[in-house]
Amino acid sequence: MKTPAKDSSVHKKMEEFSEVIERIRIKYNPPRELFTIAVPIAVALLVVLTAFLMGYTLHTTEKQQASTISDKEKALQAYLAQMNAENGNTTGGAVPATTSTPAAPTMGLDEIMVFALIIAILPYSIDITLQKRAVRKKEELYTEFLFKLSELMRGGLDPVKAVKELSKTDLGILTPNIRIASTSMTFGKSFEESMKAMAKSLHSELITRYTLLVVQASYSGGAVADLILKASEDMRSIISIEREKEGNLHQYVMIFYFAQAIIIFIVYILSTSLLPFVQQLGVSNMFGKTDIGEIDFARGFFHMIILNSIFGGLIIGKISEGEARYGLKHVVVLVAVGYIACTLFILPPPAAQAGPQVNITVISGDQQESIAALPLKDPIVFKLTDATGNPMNSTSVAFSIVPGGTVNPVSDTSDQNGLVQTKVVLGTDPGTYIVTATANGASAKATVIAKSGE
């Protein structure tokens, strides 16, 4: 429980901090863009630079590392098969563990850049959106100000006295600006200077335009109150038309969002259904044969979705609100949704934290022969040891067989001697089958042979 003394100390420090900020604002008058553009961009660049120095790299659409490791693994398997053939190892025995397949990729620098992009544009997008809403509110209240000004002038007051009377009323967020204009008139400034200064402080082209009209009407003589009332009605009509136009364009914004969702869905279908089959093929070109499996389509689709989100958001802003910068809020939403969708459905999951180092060897059951579609006589036994050669117990091991057949169980845990085994039923086609045991990223393979029953 906080004591009153501690609460007082915290409150005092907060007041001191507020005073420091206020002194800086008064003394240096930093522009608003410093905090909404410059600082966020600097933070975003710092995030990217830090990630780069920590070793994050930009992921490309080539699977060079995976291809290299796969070639080495194939060469090692061929060498082991040759050694077994030369030594007559057809009945089993200890076989060294093979190297593991590459781990799932970690987060790349391109993904860090997505976070940096959101950090850079989010504050500015929020700020300009809030500013536009505030300006729209000021414009609506300004129509009410002009209406009341015309009513007071109908009652016999001149424009200066009418503004002073309105400064005593409550006109929402316009009240401070009207009071400043009234005070400047009291100290000798003309109606024209005071009204123009007030319009400038409201940062609205529409208000500035109608303020000039009111000033000109005040010098024209005649039915000035009627002219100001007409200006109020015209301004209200323009605001209503602008609001109706934005409402009509809202459907196009939804179309852009729907199109982005369709793109993500199509990419998901391609990544999960079509490309796994296409990547098994090769494409010949004038330079030789290129393996499609070496292309990281998921990473390329990720880049495409993010770029489409950026340009799509800017186009939405240009179409719906007249300026591309108002589309930055849509950029943030589309990029965030696109990144989440890619992470969940398209990109491979990041590498899991590696467990203890495991060495796996085949103890028995290797090089068995049996009739196709029938089980092997003996189970295949693997042994798990740590880096020092000691048995590893209670370690989860997964089994698989290619190009067909079944293993039972498909996963198990090693016993106190580090041993684990699985029973194999061969596939229906004669030939060589590979049984693989995998644990903590390491794997070992046993070779079995299916003979024709004829």
Arithmetic mean of pLDDT, 265-280: 78
Query: Residue 296 is encoded by which pair of tokens?
Result: 């990281």
Query: Residue 119 is encoded by which pair of tokens?
Result: 């950090």
Q: What is the pLDDT of residue 391?
A: 93
Are the C-beta atoms of residues 232 and 166 closer than 8 Å to each other? no
Tell which wins on pLDDT, 441 or 162.
162
Tell whether the model's pLDDT for residue 84 goes beyond 70. Answer: no
Q: What is the pLDDT of residue 436?
A: 93
Q: What is the pLDDT of residue 89?
A: 42
* Residues in the chain, overall count: 454
| pLDDT (tens digit per residue) in 427-453 | 888 999 999 999 988 899 999 999 987
Average pLDDT, rounded, for the chain? 82
What's the start-to-end Cα distance of the chain, in Å? 86
Q: What is the pLDDT of residue 325?
A: 94
DSSP for 363-384, please give it: EE-TT-EEETTSB-SS-EEEEE
| pLDDT (tens digit per residue) in 225-241 | 888 999 999 999 999 99
Cα pseudo-dihedral 262, 266, 267, 269, rounded to 10: 140
Q: What is the pLDDT of residue 57?
A: 84
In the chain, % of residues over pLDDT 90: 52
Tell whether the model's pLDDT for residue 91 goes beyond 70. Answer: no
| Total Cβ atoms within 10 A of residue 247 | 9
Arithmetic mean of pLDDT, 290-318: 85
Q: What is the pLDDT of residue 292?
A: 61
Q: What is the pLDDT of residue 224?
A: 85
Tell whether the model's pLDDT for residue 75 goes beyond 80. Answer: no
Q: What is the pLDDT of residue 266?
A: 93
Are the C-beta atoms of residues 393 and 436 closer than 8 Å to each other? no
Confidence of residue 356 (pLDDT cuts 50, 70, 90): confident
Task: Give me the residues paired with residue 401 across strands.
Answer: 435
Residue 191 CA: distances (Å) to CA of 166, 218, 282, 393:
14, 9, 80, 91
Q: What is the pLDDT of residue 90?
A: 40
Q: What is the pLDDT of residue 28?
A: 60
Tell whether the model's pLDDT for residue 104 goes beyond 50. Answer: no
Q: What is the largest CA-CA distance in the chain?
A: 118
Which segments of 62-108 does DSSP mark as H helices, in order? 64-87
| pLDDT (tens digit per residue) in 204-222 | 999 999 999 888 888 876 6
What are the backbone angles phi and psi of residue 445, rounded to the nearest 5°? -125, 140
What are the backbone angles phi and psi of residue 83, rounded to the nearest 5°? -65, -45
434 sits in the region (left: phi over 0; alpha: psi -120 to 50; else beta) called: beta
Min mean pLDDT across 154-168, 270-284, 379-393 is at: 270-284
Coil vs helix vs strand at 43: helix
Cα distance between residue 79 and residue 84, in whole Å: 9
Nearest alpha-carbon partner for 321 in 259, 255, 242, 256? 242
Q: What is the pLDDT of residue 97?
A: 43
